[in-house]
């Protein structure tokens, strides 16, 4: 079998298009536009790229983007005051503090300070608890994007056995909860799981969210499975030669051995171009949701 590649770029572009139409409709009906505030502390190069891309996508969807850049030595209290000010700002419907933050700041205290109704990253314990309780919640973006890809690919997920490798608050746990809400039978695997390959072979849907390059091999996968690879790992690529500074070039791979698993699975997300593009699209989706709920507007189906 040669697996069908799940085109996350295309599915994300369609989702962003539908969000843009919904934003235009709400603007026409109510004269209001969703606003997303992104706060970046310090000058981490990768974070700079993420923040820039989020700003571009936010504006392209017709929303208002607010960007705040604070110096790397910003004290925790100053960041928390900024978050509280954004909590109180009516034109800001979503707040995202780009992680990682510098060492003097507690990531958890930042998460705890964001108003749950504006927590478009879905990491505040109030939202995590609501998700587990089956209540209306804002859901972390990458898990939401991963499950949308599975649904777009398979349609009905009810009754399928999903195995998730990784149990982080950011990815593994919310993916498990979302798939449980879709009536999957869910198994969570992690670094202490005994016989991980045998566990993975039981999966109709296998989600890898570990951070180990090409961990999942071809013989870990049930024939015909749907494989969602959340991992993003940079590895050496000697075949690409040297860059202009004489350093060896690198490339991105996921947590799944793409070539080998493609021979066994029915569907697989590539890295890059799979889950990654869904994360920003789902950030916009969450901002739209937060905007509608804060204003009491009916939420358009996107």
What are the residue numbers of the active site? 54, 98, 121
Where do contacts with ligand NAD occur on this chain (CB under 6 A)? Answer: 142, 165-168, 170-172, 189-191, 196, 209-212, 230-233, 275-276, 279
Q: How far is the CB of 296 from ligand NAD (least distance, A)?
A: 31
Q: CB count, 10 Å around CB of 72?
A: 12
Identify which of residues 279 and 289 has a Cβ nearer to ligand NAD in the complex: 279
Cα separation values, 27 from 54, 60, 187, Å: 21, 14, 43
Cα separation values, 120 from 37, 281, 293, Å: 10, 12, 12
Identify which of residues 60 and 212 has a Cβ nearer to ligand NAD in the complex: 212
Torsion angle defined by CA atoms of residues 65, 142, 83 and 17, in that order, rounded to the nearest 10 degrees? 20
Identify which of residues 42 and 272 has a Cβ nearer to ligand NAD in the complex: 272
DSSP annotation of 90 reads T
Identify which of residues 150 and 189 has a Cβ nearer to ligand NAD in the complex: 189
Q: How far is the CB of 129 from ligand NAD (least distance, A)?
A: 19
Contact indicator for 96, 283 with CB cutoff of 8 Å: yes
Query: How far is the C-alpha of 190 from the C-alpha of 56, rounded, in Å?
Result: 35
Identify which of residues 178 and 189 has a Cβ nearer to ligand NAD in the complex: 189
Per-residue three-class SS string for 188-256:
EECCCCCCHHHHHCCCCEEEECCCCCCCECHHHCCCCCEEEECCCEEEECHHHCECCCCCECEEEECCE
- For residue 72, what are its two tokens? 């790397």
């Amino acid at each position: 079998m040669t697996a069908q590649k799940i085109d996350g770029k295309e599915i994300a572009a369609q989702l962003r298009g539908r969000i843009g139409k919904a934003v235009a409709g709400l603007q026409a009906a109510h004269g209001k536009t969703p606003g997303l505030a992104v706060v970046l502390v310090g000058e981490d190069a990768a974070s700079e790229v993420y923040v820039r891309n989020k700003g571009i996508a936010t504006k392209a969807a017709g929303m208002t983007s607010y960007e705040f850049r604070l110096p790397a030595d910003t004290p925790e209290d100053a960041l928390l005051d900024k978050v509280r000010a954004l909590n109180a700002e009516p034109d800001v419907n979503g707040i995202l503090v780009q992680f990682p933050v510098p060492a003097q700041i507690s990531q958890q205290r930042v998460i705890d300070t964001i108003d749950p109704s504006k927590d478009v990253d879905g990491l505040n314990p109030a939202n995590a608890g609501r998700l587990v309780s089956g209540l209306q919640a804002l859901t972390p973006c990458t898990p939401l994007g991963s499950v949308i890809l599975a649904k777009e690919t398979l349609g009905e997920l009810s009754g399928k056995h999903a195995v998730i490798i990784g149990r982080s608050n950011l990815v593994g746990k919310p993916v498990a909860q979302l798939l449980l809400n879709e009536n999957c039978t869910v198994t969570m695997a992690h670094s202490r799981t005994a016989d991980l390959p045998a566990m993975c072979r039981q999966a109709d849907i296998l989600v890898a969210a570990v951070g180990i390059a090409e961990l999942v091999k071809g013989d870990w996968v049930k024939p015909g499975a749907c494989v969602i690879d959340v991992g993003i790992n940079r590895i050496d690529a000697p075949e690409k030669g040297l860059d202009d500074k004489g350093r060896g070039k690198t490339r991105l791979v996921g947590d799944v051995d793409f070539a080998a698993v493609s021979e066994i699975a029915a569907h697989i997300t590539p890295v890059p171009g799979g889950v990654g593009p869904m994360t920003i699209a789902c950030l916009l989706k969450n901002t739209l949701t937060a905007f509608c709920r804060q204003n009491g507007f009916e939420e358009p189906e996107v």
